[in-house]
Amino acid sequence: MATITAAEVNQLRKQTGLGMMDCKKALVEAEGDFEKAIEILRKKGQKIAEKRGDRDAAEGHVMAITNADATEGVTLVLNSETDFVANNADFIAFTTNIANTALAAKAKTKEEVNALTLEDGRTILEHVTDQIGKIGEKIEVSDYAYISAPAVVAYNHPGNNIASLVGLSVAGEGVATAGRDVAMQIAAMAPVAVDESGVAEDIKAKELEIGREQAIQEGKPEQILDKIAQGKLVKFLKENTLLTQDFIKDNKMSVAGYLKSINPNLTVTEFKRISIAK
């Protein structure tokens, strides 16, 4: 039986981030073979991940970033089960590493993100599994988006439970500031689409149904129910599509009006808002 030294245990602990006892047990089982010990620990992490698969990961760290010239950006959430883990410096650094790697690769979906490799040649999903084994909580990249536009602005709300990313039609003077204002609006007001054309038909149908039912409950005549429902839909679209929302810094103008006051050609091409419900 191989003699396991404290130095070897400490080296394995530094490499894997796992506890001293776990590392010692792995080295003993591997008879001192360092690489085999790492594999044992990774398999242990996979088993823990399988056990945690049905747990609710309702906490986490939300992040939005852009590239150096602000023409591309990503936003994602790395979920955890507790805010203690979500606020840990190592967890935040891991989230940042995933975001930077995804942005550099121009990944379009969270599945693509999970398949990307980090510095050691192993995938992000494999590293997530390692973290589950290390921390003992369910962890996952649960939401992700990539945006490319002439100008892209990221906004991270204090507390790191809401982030927004907005693509703008032109770059230039004042656009970055305007973009931040709009990104903050998105974070605060949670619009469902850029404008009416982006609202799914099933959402419109549901709002018409709700409006009609409300009118019936109010005792309105049958012949005007559809008209009332249509009016309520128009109000819903104004309040819930970004460009027609009242601008939160000046409710005398819409978001579209505010952008045009900066540049007549300035508008929003797309946006993404990610949040962790509290």
- Domain spans in the chain, listed from the N-terminal domain onward: 6-52, 59-195+243-275, 200-240
Tell me, what's the pLDDT at 20?
67
Decide if 42 contacts 29 (C-beta within 8 A).
Answer: no
Q: Which of left, alpha, beta for 197 (phi over 0: left; psi -120 to 50: alpha)?
A: alpha
Q: Does domain 59-195+243-275 have CATH number 3.30.479.20?
A: yes
Identify the CATH assignment for 6-52 out of 3.40.50.300, 3.10.580.10, 3.40.640.10, 1.10.8.10: 1.10.8.10
Tell me if domain 59-195+243-275 and domain 200-240 are identical in fold: no
Full-model pTM: 0.77
pLDDT, tens only, 134-180: 777 889 999 999 999 999 999 999 999 999 999 999 999 999 999 99
Decide if 84 contacts 91 (C-beta within 8 A).
Answer: no
pLDDT, tens only, 207-243: 898 988 888 888 888 888 889 889 999 999 999 999 9
- Helix, strand or coil for residue 154? strand
- Those residues whose C-beta lies under 8 Å from the C-beta of residue 229, and which sit 6 or more positions away, are 208, 209, 211, 212, 215
Tell me, what's the pLDDT at 9?
64
Decide if 276 contacts 157 (C-beta within 8 A).
Answer: no
* Tokens at 112, concatenated: 């693509």
More confident residue, 126 or 258: 258
Lowest mean pLDDT among 3-12, 106-115, 135-144: 3-12
Decide if 73 contacts 102 (C-beta within 8 A).
Answer: no
CATH number assigned to the domain covering 200-240 = 1.10.286
